[in-house]
Copies of this chain bind each other. A is one copy, B any other.
Amino acid sequence: MLTPVVVARKSLADYTHIVGRPLIEEIRELAEPLKGARIVHLNATSYGGGVAEILHTLIPLMQDVGLDCEWHVIYGQEEFFQATKVMHNALQGNPQAVSDEQWAVWHQYNEMNARELSRGWDCCVVHDPQPAAIATLEPGKARAWVWRCHIDVSSPNPATMQRLLPYIEPYPASLFHVRDYVPDGLDGGVHIVPPAIDPLASKNMALSRDDAEHICDQIGIDVRRPLLCQVSRFDPWKDPQGVIDAYRIVKERRPEVQLALVGSMASDDPEGWEFYDATVAHAEGDPDIHILNNFNNVGAVEVNAFQSLSDVVIQKSTREGFGLTVSEALWKGRPFVGGAVGGIPLQIQNGKSGFLVSSIEECAARSLEILEDADLGTSLGRYGKQFVRENFLMPRYLRDYLKIFTEVL
């Protein structure tokens, strides 16, 4: 019932010209003694969302450097995913705690999956809380266990976190994006490892200006006029309505400005659709606001085109797990304005690669500043791209994992 995921083949060598030879050599040296190590990653889904996106690059690269690495998706039915959705929201701070019944469902599915997991793994990397109990339930199935937390647990619902912690503590290594996210009471084995983007993925590959313009033009953007853009799911924490308000302030001074809100929708998220509809309503039919999602034929290349052409990329989040869309935008050399929350300040050095803001007015003022000073935009973008090259590309992330495998094995 654990479903193995088939991944593409990728070659670390293809990244040499992007990240430089020293990092590639460091990775090969770290990988040498790990050759043939049997690694399995467990998570809840093979597509949709950032975790799956990362694993679709990370796992092929682990295979390429010689690990015997697999990715299995755990089994769950609706009741399980409903329980883990409540858990996810509670861990991100929602006041509604996980109920006893939901804990029981979570535990029961973890038991099923733990039982199903085959034996003989050198290391099992468990992603996020959905399958977190497996290490406790079947510790003998892997020599070492790693828990990777992808969410913002800096101010969790205390009852939910207290009840989850006993399942996390047994892991010899746990990974968090940011120091602030480490739960109180979790000592030992904690690693701070930010995630990374894949510069070769269709979402981030070098797209010619011509192609990017054609794609945006077809969607209705006037490519000769300035464009603000936010790429994010439609949820209140990403504050797309605040972005619209900021755009309106900018538009008073620069009436030619356009805004694109580009996001993917989950298939089974009625709240997401409600918020999407509310965002569309908030735009009040303004023809210069373009709200797009994966049901408008918008995929990775279209997102790439929007980010590549934007004069300012915005991520006005009020809460943010890590916010890899920031690195995506910086990698395209675009100036950035974003909320000073979650992993965003790790990616943006205020004033150097973009601006951190905490209000609609500030967001508008910084966007205007960039629109009115082309040199500022260029220098922010250039600095940001270099910063991402050094810190937030997939080979660095692979190296960090290899170091941890070296430690725990």
Are B215 and A301 in contact (CB-based, < 8 A)? yes
Interface residue? A33 (CB, 8 A): no
Tell me which residues across on chain B come within 8 A of A287, comparing CB atoms.
6
Q: Which of B6, B202, B267, B273 contacts A302 (CB 8 A)?
A: B202
Interface residue? A201 (CB, 8 A): yes
Q: Which of A1-58 contact B (CB under 8 A)?
A: 4, 6-9, 47-48, 53
Interface residue? A162 (CB, 8 A): no
| Complex interface bits, A217-228 against B, C-beta within 8 A gives 1, otherwise 0 | 111111000000
| Complex interface bits, A303-329 against B, C-beta within 8 A gives 1, otherwise 0 | 100000000000000000000000000
Which of A205, A214, A264, A294 is most buried by chain B, counting CB atoms within 10 A of its CB? A294
Q: Which of B9, B48, B205, B273 contacts A214 (CB 8 A)?
A: B205
Alpha-carbon gap, A266 to B265, bound state (A): 11
Q: Footprint of B on A, CB under 8 Å?
A: 4, 6-9, 47-48, 53, 200-203, 205, 211, 214-215, 217-222, 264-267, 273, 285, 287, 293-303
Tell me which residues across on chain B come within 8 A of A48, comparing CB atoms.
295-296
Residues A4 and B285 in contact in the complex (CB < 8 Å), given A202-B218, A267-B265: yes
Which of A205, A214, A218 is most buried by chain B, counting CB atoms within 10 A of its CB? A218
Q: Which of B47, B203, B218, B298 contacts A201 (CB 8 A)?
A: B218
Alpha-carbon gap, A4 to B280, bound state (A): 12
Alpha-carbon gap, A211 to B220, bound state (A): 23
Instruction: Across the interface, name the chain B residue whose C-beta is closest to A297.
Output: B300
Residues A218 and B302 in contact in the complex (CB < 8 Å), given A273-B267, A295-B294: no
Q: Which of B4, B203, B285, B293 contacts A297 (CB 8 A)?
A: B203
Q: 13 other contacts beyond A8-B219, A200-B214, A294-B295, with CB at 8 A cut-off?
A: A6-B285, A8-B221, A9-B220, A9-B222, A48-B296, A202-B297, A202-B301, A202-B302, A205-B214, A294-B294, A294-B297, A297-B303, A299-B302
Tell me which residues across on chain B come within 8 A of A47, comparing CB atoms.
293, 295-296
